Amino acid sequence: MGTIYKHSSPFLQAAQTLLKTRKAQAIAPTRQTAKRLKQLPYSLTSLAAELLWQKGIRVLNPLEQYRYFKQAIAATLNPTDLEGTVQTWRGAIQELLQTSRELDALKKFETPKIQQLYQVIHAYQAQLEADNVVDSAAALWRAIALEPDLKTLCIYGYPDPRADEIAFIEAIAAPDSLLYLPQVDDQPLFSPQAELIKRLQGKGWQLDDSQPETLTLGDRLSQKFFGQNSVNFEPKTVQAHVYPNWEAEARGTLGQIKQLLQQGVAARKIAIVTNEDNHWGPLLLHVAQEYDVPLSLPNPISLQKTRLGAWLEQLLTVIETNYSFEVTAQWLSHPLTHPLGREFWQAARTLKPNHFEAWQALTQEHYQWDLAVLQPPQQGSFLVWREYLKEILNVLKVRRRALPWVTETVAYKKLIDGLDSLGTSLTETMTWEMFQAEIRTSLQLLTTPAYPMRGGVGVHNPQNLIGAQYDYIFCIDGAEGVMPRPLRDEPVLDFYTRKQLSDKLPIEGAIAKARREQFQFYSLLQVPQKQFTFSYSTLGQGEGRYRSQVASIYFKKLGLQPKKTSIAIAASVAEARQFYLTQSQIPTELQSETLDQAIAAHQIEQRRLQKSALDEYQGLIGVPFPWREHTFSASQLLQLGQCPFKWFAGKVLKLAALDEPETTLEPSQRGILYHKVLELALNAYRENPDLDLTDFEQLKAWFIEAEDVLKLPELSAWERQCTEHIQTLQRAIAAPEFLPEGRHVFRLEDKIQFTWQDFRITGYIDRIDQISGTNELVIMDYKTSSSPPKGIQDESGLLKIDLQLPIYEASVQHQYPEFQVKQNLYYSLTKGKKLSSKSPDEKDLQAAGDRLKIHLEEGSYPVAPDKKYDACKYCDFKSVCRINQEEQE
């Protein structure tokens, strides 16, 4: 039979000699292992799939496999949450399919869970056999059943083979085959390998125990790992670092790699290794791009996590929500959608389209772009739905827009191939709900490399580097609880269930899983040839939270003591600029307008945090405002009196709050709407006093008329909201204090223009009533709140001086000298009652007006809200003034 090699060097020499004869097939599952044999990747599963294909049996792709499995779960378990059950059970079923060819042994167990496992597997395999297809997890066992012809194989990259892999090797390997199977005598870690070697020797395999001529760095690391304390390393060949956090670890690692690249080391000879490659990938890529380090992320990610996947899921949500404003605006803003200009978005923010026809009119008006392609069919076969989606992709030129990103280009091909593969298996008529569920599932199951780059520094998990060789290995995130990964009980195949099954099946239990995890790290130690750097950070993150971390036990086993490290040389222009923010001397090559602006901004921020003397960045601009020439409203003076910076930001700097999409009317819009409805109602009442102002249908007519005049934005569920608004107004009008006997409406929305304490004032008074038979007037100001409005600051810094009603009273006395103001009041439309307020005396009003003038004349608008920070509660400019939350509390 074949030959087993315990050491990689003799095996590689023998394998390359044999492969040159072209009489052998190289078996190496990954690109990294295949490179050692100077061959292309080709796994045992690939060989099994080829053999099955020759016999007319096809291996399922992930989408087909999921669909068959879903049908089996539905037929046997019929769970209430079908999708959730499929997700939970899928991994357990595939592990059992790999474990053994004969799973009828499951019938002998009386445990309900194991009985269910058997029922699902039996139904699943029956469906597959009926259609002459096979799950990839069972491909090796199915190929063995074919009794294939023997082949000469050079098998590398399977140092810790599973049961199905061992059985397949035994079934197909010709007598002149070669197998690399590492084994160290008297080490419990290698007990499965020792047993397998003994078993294969019993079947005629020979053992080649020849030793390598020289020990590599990996060999010495392995010896140290097994407790040979006499092993020493050359200076700087093995290093251990500790960092304060993930970002520092990423920057420290990539900084060292950049130095190697600058020394002439090829990027392809360097690798970063982590158990959490999916979590670390985005951070490493961000820092690598800043450092100008070529980085490759070959780890597979679901299409759901790509730009294309996000774009497609947003499109499905747009159609599901019937083109609601916020969701549709997000989708239209996506880089894979048709680019839209400033004028379009200005119009969209103003109109807030909230259904298909409104968006259609807007896109056609600005771009002659017809959204009709998005309208889905009522129902149809999957082929109909597939062509519908492809038409959208073609019309919007998504493939061309994805070209700037390699990941998205690959993801696009994966998506199209996946959709095409389902064309023959999905034959039933599908509704929109069924189709969008199928697409969402496809986005979860289909994968693409996270960031492929030929020749870049690769980020790998240890499993992918088994059998590989790199000059420099940087193993990051080496914290306890991360490396080795902790054992986790699974919901279906928990450790107790595994222990039960181990009597009949060669399934891995807790001890075997822990051993395999440790063996994986041993295999990693074989990879580096020149330098091995091991690091961890004391502050980790995961599952949405931060956690304190300590060094992995592997540091101790390697005799390493992690040390704090810092790279004195900035690895990027951005880091250099950050350093020179606080330096007086700046190198000529770094001097730029960008750095000058950053230094100025940093100094401004320091002064703010140190609470030093106020300057122009805290509102003290020192430029007098021509207030005598300016016309103010009462609300403007109110803002100035509550917080000078608040008025300055809005009226001088012309800042405004971001126009966020709303599901309900904003408070200011609601107030304007209520005012308009009451104006229409009371004008009609003045013409016809017999009208019932509280009649719902009549109020509704005025409400609709006010809507039309004001051009309010379209909101979801507006019809229901309208009813609530009308009922609120109905209660407010019916209240006795709204229009009491003995009073009639004198003026509505009365415009005022006059001078108050030398301020030119303009505005509108909501309503002025006249007491019947007298020359006395009552001023009413409507409020949608349930409490009286805050005034401006008094001398103690509290909002106690009401400014609005005194100004209104003075204006009415000026405008109607023949009348006397008997009363002024705030009326709550939500409570239907008068709000109590205290009128300030003339001395307080005069002092308040003088304080306002000082701010304007001196150009002094400090961030100085009232002591209770009431002025900050509904302020749009908190991100500008950055008032301290600690101070408010």
- Residue 555's domain is classified under what CATH number? 3.40.50.300
Contact 438, 422 (CB under 8 A): yes
pLDDT at position 339: 81
pLDDT at position 884: 56
Sign for the CA dihedral angle at 585, 590, 592, 597 comes to negative
Does 695 fall in a domain?
no
Res. 657: pLDDT tops 80: no
pLDDT at position 215: 85
Contact 537, 562 (CB under 8 A): no
Helices (H), 270-324: 277-291, 307-320
- In whole angstroms, give the CA distance from residue 680 to residue 228: 94
Clarify whether residues 559 and 580 are in a common domain.
no
- In whole angstroms, give the CA distance from residue 415 to residue 402: 13
Res. 889: pLDDT tops 70: no
pLDDT at position 543: 65
Query: The tokens of 696 are what?
Result: 């719902």
Contact 222, 199 (CB under 8 A): no
Q: What is the DSSP code (8-state) at residue 150?
A: P
Write out the H or E segment, with its range, that includes residue 530.
strand 528-537
Does 169 fall in a domain?
yes
Clarify whether residues 172 and 104 are in a common domain.
no
pLDDT band at 346 (very low <50, low <70, confident <90, very high): confident
pLDDT, average across residues 818-826: 94
Write out the H or E segment, with its range, that includes residue 449.
strand 447-451
- In whole angstroms, give the CA distance from residue 96 to residue 12: 33
Clarify whether residues 747 and 816 are in a common domain.
yes
Query: The tokens of 772 are what?
Result: 């019947």
Q: Which of 387, 417, 449 is the last residue of a domain?
A: 449
Clarify whether residues 187 and 335 are in a common domain.
no
Determine the structural domain holding residue 741 and report its residue range: 631-663+718-888
pLDDT at position 231: 83
pLDDT, average across residues 857-867: 90
Does 626 fall in a domain?
no
- In whole angstroms, give the CA distance from residue 684 to residue 686: 5
For residue 141, the Cα-to-chain-centroid distance in whole angstroms is: 40
- In whole angstroms, give the CA distance from residue 169 to residue 179: 9
- In whole angstroms, give the CA distance from residue 737 to residue 759: 33
With a CB cutoff of 8 Å and minimum separation 6, the contacts of 215 are 223
Res. 462: pLDDT tops 90: yes
542: nearest Cα among 481, 474, 463, 464: 481
pLDDT, average across residues 535-539: 93
Res. 306: pLDDT tops 50: yes
pLDDT, average across residues 255-282: 94
Clarify whether residues 46 and 193 are in a common domain.
yes
Q: What percent of the chain has pLDDT over 90?
A: 64
Clarify whether residues 124 and 23 are in a common domain.
no
Q: Which of 423, 449, 475 is the last residue of a domain?
A: 449
Does 884 fall in a domain?
yes
pLDDT at position 205: 93
Does 782 fall in a domain?
yes
Other CB atoms within a 10 A radius of the CB of residue 612 amount to 10
pLDDT, average across residues 276-304: 93
- In whole angstroms, give the CA distance from residue 235 to residue 225: 18
Contact 519, 160 (CB under 8 A): yes
Other CB atoms within a 10 A radius of the CB of residue 504 amount to 16
Q: What is the DSSP code (8-state) at residue 428?
A: S
Res. 886: pLDDT tops 50: no
- In whole angstroms, give the CA distance from residue 484 to residue 520: 9
Mean pLDDT, the chain, integer = 90
Q: What is the CATH number of the domain that holds 766?
A: 3.90.320
Does 469 fall in a domain?
yes
Sign for the CA dihedral angle at 680, 682, 683, 687 comes to positive
Q: What length does the chain have?
A: 889
Clarify whether residues 445 and 462 are in a common domain.
no
- In whole angstroms, give the CA distance from residue 883 to residue 869: 10
Other CB atoms within a 10 A radius of the CB of residue 469 amount to 20
pLDDT, average across residues 10-37: 92
The count of structural domains within the chain is: 6
Does 622 fall in a domain?
no
Res. 192: pLDDT tops 50: yes
pLDDT at position 567: 66
With a CB cutoff of 8 Å and minimum separation 6, the contacts of 723 are none
Clarify whether residues 401 and 492 are in a common domain.
no
pLDDT at position 174: 94
pLDDT band at 604 (very low <50, low <70, confident <90, very high): confident
Res. 885: pLDDT tops 90: no
Q: What is the DSSP code (8-state) at residue 244?
A: S
* DSSP assignment string, 554-588: HHHHTT---EE---SS-SSHHHHHHHHTT-S---G
Res. 888: pLDDT tops 60: no
- In whole angstroms, give the CA distance from residue 643 to residue 876: 12
With a CB cutoff of 8 Å and minimum separation 6, the contacts of 624 are 856, 857, 858, 859
Clarify whether residues 150 and 271 are in a common domain.
no
- In whole angstroms, give the CA distance from residue 83 to residue 88: 9
- In whole angstroms, give the CA distance from residue 563 to residue 566: 10
pLDDT, average across residues 764-780: 95
Clarify whether residues 332 and 429 are in a common domain.
yes
Does 216 fall in a domain?
no
* DSSP assignment string, 705-720: HHHHHHTPPP-TTHHH
pLDDT, average across residues 90-115: 90
Clarify whether residues 534 and 586 are in a common domain.
no
**N- to C-terminal Cα separation, the chain:** 80
- In whole angstroms, give the CA distance from residue 519 to residue 194: 14
Helix axes 573-580, 593-609, angle to 10 degrees: 50
Contact 297, 451 (CB under 8 A): yes
In a 3-state reduction of DSSP, which class is residue 778?
strand
**515 has which bridge partners?**
none
Clarify whether residues 86 and 25 are in a common domain.
no
